[in-house]
Amino acid sequence: ARSACTGACPAPTDAFDAWLNRAARPPRGTRALLCGAPSRVEALARALYLAGLPRSQLHAEAFTGE
């Protein structure tokens, strides 16, 4: 999966984002399941990828509220 998120991603806004910014590389075998607003899912997916989580271990679902 390719992320459409660029420099326009939302800035860290909560405790999880703060933790993620300090966290070391995710342990081997970590799987991340994300769901939420599209901009939030993109921002968290990008942050996890940059922290070292392979895209194949990231499962995301964006909800548009429709």
Q: How many CB atoms lie within 10 A of CB 45?
A: 23
Cβ pair 61, 35 in contact under 8 A: yes
pLDDT in tens, 8-27: 454 556 666 676 667 667 77
Which residues touch 33 (CB under 8 Å, ≥6 apart)?
59, 60
Residue 65, pLDDT > 60, answer yes
More confident residue, 7 or 18: 18
Torsion, Cα 26 11 43 3, to 10 degrees, reads: -110
Cβ pair 60, 41 in contact under 8 A: yes
Structure tokens at 3: 């992320």
Mean pLDDT, residues 56-63 taken together? 92
